[in-house]
Chain A
Amino acid sequence: MKIPVSITVNGRHYDRDVEPRLLLVHFIRDVLGLTGTKVGCDTSQCGSCTVLVDGVTAKSCTCLAVQADGSSVTTIEGLAGEGGLHQLQESFWDQHGLQCGFCTPGMIMASHELLRCNSDPTDEQIRHGLEGNLCRCTGYQNIVRAVRDAAGAAEGGTQ
């Protein structure tokens, strides 16, 4: 049995019939072919699959596609605007906030939420805000720097 869903992803509208058990992350990756969103675990620990659902972060491995019916989803592919990279993407690049890059899409989306809720976080608040996203390469230090850099750039206008 398949169920029809209607989901907007990165501003584009999709109508698809999906299995009820299909996770949102598999809808994004396998049905739509947007592979920027990653699957790094099967217990909702790693955060690699983090996306925005109606502007708020969700671990897309913990959400069924049918639950996202009617929602608007933003993935890493939809973050950059017409003017170029999103400030968080620039800051991750500038501050060497990534190495292998696998956690990066989820990390950037989680950082997006963090800055939405607190535009001027302390390092401690950044570290606390990213505790739901795992990175094995960077030791997190340059990720913290990147988020701080993005917050500073937003405050001071364009960098």
Chain B
Amino acid sequence: MSATTFGSGIRRREDPRLITGSAKYTDDISLPGTLHAAMLRSPYAHARIESIDSSAAEAANGVVAVFTHQDTEGEIAPAPCAWLLPNSGLSIADYHCIAKDAVRYVGDIVAVVVAETRSQAYDALDLIEVDYEPLDAVVAPKQAATDGAPQLHAEIEGNQAFHWTVTGGGDIDEAFAGADIVLKETIVQQRLIPNAMEPRAALASYTTATGELTLWNTTQNPHIVRFLCSLVNGIPEDRLRVIAPEVGGGFGSKIAVYPADFITVFCSKKLGAPVKWAESRSENYQATTHGRDHVQEIEVAATKDGKIVGLRATVWAGMGAYLSTAAPGIPTILHGLMLSGVYDIPAIHEDVYGIYTNTTPVEAYRGAGRPEATFMVERLVDLLAAEIGLDPADVRRRNFIPRFDDGHDVVTGLTYDSGDYDAALTKLLNKAGYEGLRAEQAAARDGGRYIGLGLSTYVEICGLGPSQVAGAIGFQGGLWESAILRFHPSGKVQVMIGASPHGQGEETTFAQIVAGELGVSPDDVKVIHGDTDKTPMGWGTYGSRTTAVGGAALALAARKIREKATIIAAHLLEASVDDMDYEDGKFFVKGAPGEAKTIQDIALMANVAWDLPEGVEAGLEATSFYDPPNFVFPYGAHLAVVEVDAETGQVTLKRYVAVDDCGPQINPVIVEGQVHGGIVQGVGQALWEEGVYDEDGQLLTGSMLDYALPRADTLPDIEVHSTVTPSPHHPLGVKGIGEAGTIASTAAVYNAVIDALQPLGVKGVNMPLTPERVWRAIQDAQGRN
């Protein structure tokens, strides 16, 4: 591999269009004659629809059509749930794209208006008369699971969507019965609102004469959108083209295919005209999926020396009113199987209850299940450290899985690929000056200041994943990726790839992979993605899988090109293939690098095909499909340093130091950017963010005015370091990095705040750790309430 390309922090190739305003996101695209759709959404969290009168809206200026459920009967199937979790009693409620007889969350769609302009469509929404019969609502998952709670779906008893368990290792009851120490904690993983900066949108254009439809959509996975639209809207998959143009962040919220997308497609098909729908931010808060929303009752069993012998948990996971596309797999497969963390834990048991509530559906949100697992484990380790009076770093070391290079089985059934957890922690403590910080903390306490240090040592599962496993765990798709790599006659390269990045910079890192494999300049590699008519199949960008799986497919395609190029070069140099050598884009007879053929020479010859070896096809192009043999497991160690003002409860994040190991880094600048952004999102959960409903199911945090997002002035610079442990089974050795920061940082910051408050006797506070909550916890602990 060329040292100047793979592994180099070159500037991103996608940036020129983004910094000049010339990039086109879905809502930036308009077609001649485009009509505009607006969704009428339920103002009630739970109500029967008695009647709808849309006559005034239909007569309004510019209105082309109003559709309610009965207009779509037989033409739009319910929005599908595509992760059919096995052995869990999964009960899927029909998610009608336009509500049938009842609404079940504030934001459920009741009608759609299509008009000539967007403002006409929104004006007409106010003219639709809906007679609702309000019903009791329930918003908290544990409460919704109790007897007597309001029931969302008549056919589903106890609001229970599923009950999933993981049991591994030795007998869990014995482990707890025989333990020196048993510690319990209840954790509320509050509901979060993803807040991709670009709200969701869809532009559908149907051609009646051909039955073909093109959909521009804010999605992380256009091929999945195509597949599900064909099922829901009844348009054959070959007549559907889905384009994810520029997509302004997703963080999981653009995985699902939503009712509004299917409705927009329906409207275009029905009206034979392009129809565009674009949500407002308030609509995004109500109707684009949320994340987390767990209540976790957890306990750890340990010896008095701090060795963990068992971990047991019961989790109530709020799923919202309906099951979103991938929702059932998030609090189960991606959560429960990760409960061993970086530790050797001999017995683990978890029950997860997925519960319907009168809230916006909950889906993947950056980290998706792993932050919720990491937080549980990292809290328990810190509780154990406090109980036995050891430093949290020491307790971690007593439980770490020792270094392994080629596979380690944990009791939940996963095989981690490679790791050296102690090395990451050691590097972190050295870089941070941990001992000095502990001394500073002690001195500050003597002076009446409350500084806290919080560790989080994590491992995560990503690079999803072997398709055989996907089938076994009920994921209704494959998890492989494919790439086509084509050389033009001039030696320039075109890559068509199924993965669909939306901010992660893979137009650059993919070009660097090709450059590293074939010795071309990254500037000579054009990467095309996000268009189902131009690219081969891809299963989407989520679960930190795009570089890990798509990148591997691309590397393998490049290696096929190199094989063919070697054959052609040998022919042109009148040598045997076995005698050929390759270095940095040049093919030559061993020992004679002066007489080399460049990859560009060979691309030209392959394309003109004047002189090819017998039996070799013209052209220089390769397609590959990569289905990974296992997941990849990045890991790391993070430290947060906070100061708490005991008078006001204000938490200040003073320092944040991260050591992450995602294997070899294709572009370290991009890796660092992913780490920064990931950490800040996790800090947001610890300190500021919470999606709040009142008991009637009204979303109180209904706009950016009410939901506290991280801002530039509330954060310190993050200190980013790394270790490099290749994945043994990956063609490039790389692991994922998109979610690592978020998975680690919430626990690090939380542990730091509790550490700071330890002299005040505060044991726990529910997130987010707002000044009010911290202040109240201090008052309670001091007996001043």
Chain A residues close to B by CB (< 8 Å): 19, 21, 29, 34-43, 45-46, 48, 75-77, 79-80, 85, 89, 92-94, 96, 98-105, 108, 123-124, 126-128, 130-131, 133-144
Contacts and interface: CB of A to CB of B under 8 A. Distances in A.
B681 A41 contact: no
Given A101-B248, A102-B248, A139-B718, A144 B712 contact: yes
Nearest to B278: A39
A35 B246 CA distance: 12
A37 B713 contact: no
Contacts of B249: 99-100, 102, 136-137
15 contacts: A36-B20, A40-B281, A42-B280, A43-B703, A45-B704, A92-B19, A98-B19, A101-B15, A101-B18, A128-B712, A137-B197, A137-B503, A139-B680, A139-B681, A139-B715
B712 A77 contact: no
A8 to B, nearest CB: 17
B676 A138 contact: yes
B705 interface: yes
Given A101-B246, A130-B712, A138 B677 contact: yes
Contact of B199 (A40, A98, A105, A135): A40
B229 to A, nearest CB: 24
B41 to A, nearest CB: 14
Nearest to A130: B712
Which of B14, B21, B709 has the most CB atoms of chain A within a 10 A radius of its CB? B21
A133 B711 CA distance: 8
Given A92-B15, A102-B198, A41 B704 contact: yes
B624 interface: no
A85 B18 CA distance: 12
A143 B148 CA distance: 52
Contact of B680 (A127, A133, A140): A140
Given A35-B21, A100-B502, A143-B712, 18 more contacts: A39-B27, A43-B281, A45-B703, A76-B21, A96-B12, A99-B504, A99-B505, A99-B677, A100-B196, A101-B503, A102-B197, A131-B712, A134-B704, A134-B709, A136-B195, A136-B677, A139-B710, A140-B710
Nearest to A88: B19
B688 interface: no
Nearest to A134: B709
B247 interface: yes
The 10 closest A-B pairs by CB, nearest first: A36-B21, A100-B503, A102-B248, A101-B18, A139-B680, A76-B21, A45-B704, A35-B28, A139-B676, A41-B281
B480 interface: no
Contacts of B672: 96
A93 B197 contact: no
Interface in B682-724: 703-705, 709-713, 715, 717-718
Which of B28, B197, B503, B505 has the most CB atoms of chain A within a 10 A radius of its CB? B197
Contacts of A128: 712-713
Given A35-B21, A137-B503, A98 B680 contact: no
A43 B284 CA distance: 13
B52 interface: no
A131 B713 contact: yes
B704 A46 contact: yes
Interface string B225-259: 00000000000000000000011110100000000
B282 A42 contact: yes
Interface of B: 9, 11-12, 14-25, 27-28, 119, 195-199, 246-249, 251, 280-282, 502-505, 669-670, 672-673, 676-681, 703-705, 709-713, 715, 717-718
Interface of A is mostly: loop
A101 B677 contact: no
A42 B703 contact: yes
A104 B18 contact: yes
Given A94-B11, A98-B15, A99-B504, A136 B21 contact: no
Contact of B11 (A93, A130, A139): A93
A29 B711 CA distance: 26
Contacts of B711: 131, 134, 140
Given A45-B704, A140-B715, A144-B712, A38 B198 contact: yes
Given A41-B703, A134-B197, A136-B195, A96 B670 contact: yes
A77 B709 contact: no
A98 B18 CA distance: 8
Contacts of B119: 19, 21
A40 B197 contact: yes
A141 B709 contact: no
Nearest to B12: A96
A124 to B, nearest CB: 8
B21 A46 contact: no
A134 B198 CA distance: 11
B197 A46 contact: yes
Contacts of B670: 96
Contacts of A40: 197-199, 281
A85 B705 CA distance: 34
Contacts of B12: 93, 96
B584 to A, nearest CB: 26
Contacts of A94: 11
Given A99-B504, A101-B246, A93 B15 contact: yes
A42 B14 CA distance: 28
B712 A108 contact: no
Given A92-B15, A134-B709, A76 B20 contact: yes
A36 B717 CA distance: 29
A131 to B, nearest CB: 4
Which of B19, B280, B680 has the most CB atoms of chain A within a 10 A radius of its CB? B19
B247 A77 contact: no
A128 B249 CA distance: 24
Contact of B673 (A29, A85, A103, A142): A142
B21 A34 contact: yes
B673 A138 contact: yes
B197 A48 contact: yes
Nearest to A145: B717
Contacts of B504: 99
Contacts of A133: 712
B715 A99 contact: no
Which of B504, B677, B681 has the most CB atoms of chain A within a 10 A radius of its CB? B677
Nearest to B18: A101
Given A136-B251, A140-B680, A77 B198 contact: no
Contacts of A19: 119
Contacts of A99: 249, 503-505, 673, 677
Nearest to A100: B503
A29 B30 CA distance: 11
A108 B704 contact: no
Contacts of A80: 20
Contact of A135 (B23, B197, B280, B505): B197
Contact of A139 (B16, B20, B280, B679): B679
Contacts of A124: 713
A27 to B, nearest CB: 13
Nearest to B118: A30
Nearest to B684: A136
Contact of A141 (B14, B24, B718): B718
Contact of A42 (B281, B679, B715): B281
B703 A89 contact: no
Nearest to A21: B119
A35 B712 contact: no
Given A134-B704, A141-B676, A100 B16 contact: no
B19 A89 contact: yes
Contacts of A41: 281, 703-704
Which of B24, B502, B503 has the most CB atoms of chain A within a 10 A radius of its CB? B503
Contacts of A92: 15, 19
A154 B598 CA distance: 42
Nearest to A143: B712
A32 to B, nearest CB: 12
Nearest to A110: B712
Contacts of A96: 9, 11-12, 669-670, 672-673
